[in-house]
A and B are shown apart, each in its own frame.
Chain A
Amino acid sequence: MIHIPILRAGRSYRSLNTVRVPHIKTGEPLVEVSQANRGLIAKDLLDIALQKEVLGQRSAAELISICKKAARLFATETLPLDGTVQSPTDYIQQVSGTTGMPEALCEQNLFKIQGVLENIDTVLDGLTRGLDLGVLDTGWGTQNGRTLSYVCETDSLGAVLPSNSPGVHSLWVPAIPLKVPLVLKPGREEPWTPYRIAQAFIVAGAPAEAFSFYPTDYAGANEILVRCGRSMLFGGGSTVAPWLNTPRVEIHGPGRSKIIIHEEEQNNWEQYLDLIVESVAKNGGRSCINASGVWVTANGRKIAEALAARLARIEPKPLDHPEAGIAAWANPKSAHGISSLINQHLKEPGATELTTGDRVVELDGCTFLRPTVIWCDDAEHPLANIEFPFPFVSVVEVPSTQLVEAMGATLVATAITEDIMLTQDLIATPRIDRLNLGAIPTNQISWDSPHEGNLFEHLYRQRAFQFG
Chain B
Amino acid sequence: MNLSRKITEAQKSLDAHVREIIKWHFSPKTGCPFWLEFAKNLDFDPRKEIKGYADLKCLGHFEDEWLRGGPVRRWVPKAYADEPIYVFETGGSTGVPKSRISIRDFHIDYEIFSESLSDEGFPPGSDWLMLGPTGPRRLRLAVEHLAQHRGGICFHVDLDPRWVNQLVRYGKNEELDAYKNHVISQALNVLRAHENVQCLFTTPKLLEALCEKISLPKVGIKGIFCGGTEMDAQFHRFAREELVPGIDFIPTYGNTLMGLAACKPFDPADNYAIIYYPPHPRAVIELVNPENPEELVDYGETGRVMLTTLTKEFFMPRFLERDEAERAEPIPKYPWDGVENLRLLTELQESVVVGVY
Contact = CB atoms under 8 A, between A and B. Distances in A.
A40 B238 contact: yes
Interface string A39-62: 110110010000000000000000
A37 B238 contact: yes
A39 B243 contact: yes
Given A42-B212, A43-B212, A226 B173 contact: yes
Contacts of A37: 232, 234-235, 238
B271 A43 contact: no
A247 interface: no
B111 to A, nearest CB: 31
Given A39-B235, A241-B171, A242-B171, A16 B272 contact: yes
A16 B212 contact: no
A42 B234 contact: no
Interface string A11-39: 00001110000000000000000010111
B232 A17 contact: yes
A423 interface: no
Given A37-B238, A40-B238, A226-B177, A16 B208 contact: no
Contacts of B171: 238, 241-242
B212 A35 contact: no
A340 interface: no
Given A16-B234, A17-B233, A17-B234, A40 B272 contact: no
A222 interface: yes
Interface in A210-225: 222, 225
Please classify the interface of chain B as helix (H, G, I), strand (E, B), loop, or mixed, using the class held by over half of its residues: helix
Q: Kindly name the residue among A39, A225, A242 whose own CB sees the greatest number of chain B CB atoms within 10 A.
A: A39
Contacts of A222: 173
Nearest to B207: A39
Interface string A193-236: 00000000000000000000000000000100110000000000
Given A16-B233, A16-B237, A17-B234, A39 B208 contact: yes
Given A16-B271, A17-B233, A39-B243, A46 B212 contact: yes
B254 to A, nearest CB: 21
B242 A16 contact: no
B349 to A, nearest CB: 10
Given A40-B238, A42-B208, A43-B243, A16 B177 contact: no
A344 B211 CA distance: 52
Contacts of B232: 16-17, 37
A46 B234 CA distance: 20
B234 A15 contact: yes
B177 to A, nearest CB: 7
Nearest to A44: B242
A238 B234 CA distance: 28
A39 B271 contact: no
A37 B233 CA distance: 10
B228 interface: no
B204 to A, nearest CB: 7
A132 to B, nearest CB: 38
A102 to B, nearest CB: 30
Contacts of B204: 39
A414 B212 CA distance: 50
Contacts of A225: 173
Contacts of B211: 43
Interface in B151-173: 171-173
A16 B238 CA distance: 10
Contacts of B272: 16
Interface string B259-283: 0000000000001100000000000
Interface string B210-246: 0110000000000000000000111101100011000
A35 B233 CA distance: 12
Interface string A240-256: 01100000000000000
A226 B177 CA distance: 9
B173 A40 contact: no
Contacts of A226: 173, 177
B234 A242 contact: no
A15 B173 CA distance: 27
A38 B203 CA distance: 14
Contact of A43 (B205, B208, B234, B237): B208
A35 B237 CA distance: 13
Contacts of A242: 171-173
Contacts of A42: 208, 212
Nearest to B272: A16
A118 B232 CA distance: 43
Contacts of A40: 238, 242
Contacts of B177: 226
Interface string A273-294: 0000000000000000000000
The 7 closest A-B pairs by CB, nearest first: A242-B171, A39-B208, A17-B234, A16-B234, A16-B233, A37-B234, A15-B234
Given A17-B234, A39-B238, 18 more contacts: A15-B234, A16-B232, A16-B271, A16-B272, A17-B232, A35-B234, A37-B232, A37-B238, A38-B208, A39-B205, A39-B235, A40-B238, A40-B242, A42-B212, A43-B208, A46-B212, A225-B173, A242-B171
21 contacts: A16-B233, A16-B234, A16-B237, A17-B232, A17-B233, A37-B232, A37-B235, A38-B205, A38-B208, A39-B208, A39-B235, A39-B238, A40-B238, A40-B242, A42-B208, A43-B212, A43-B242, A43-B243, A46-B212, A225-B173, A226-B177
Interface of A: 15-17, 35, 37-40, 42-43, 46, 222, 225-226, 238, 241-242
